[in-house]
Amino acid sequence: VDNGSGMCSAGFAGDAAPPAVFPSIDGRPRHQAMMVGMGQKNSYVGDEAKSQRGILPLECPIDHGIITN
């Protein structure tokens, strides 16, 4: 597992490339009512959060390699 400031990667030693790579961002609805009827969740991570960027405030929880939130 490599928790980078921009991307997270997960894989096994010896693999040519990690099979799981996704943006290290998260999004949480400010108000639960904003997401009614959309299969709402408490938080969204990676590509799923990125696809909701018009609705959710996005945060990068890793800053210079340090988890901040």
Query: Domain extents for the chain?
Result: 2-30+43-67
Please give the chain's pLDDT, 69 residues, in tens. 888 888 889 999 999 999 999 999 999 888 766 555 666 788 889 999 999 888 889 998 888 777 886
- Please check whether the domain covering 2-30+43-67 is classified as CATH 3.30.70.100: no
Structure tokens at 26: 């998260």
Report yes or no on whether pTM surpasses 0.75. no
- Beta-carbon contacts of 25 under 8 Å, excluding residues fewer than 6 positions away, are 45, 46, 49, 50, 58, 59, 60, 61
What is the spatial distance between Cα 30 and Cα 34, in angstroms, rounded to a whole number? 8
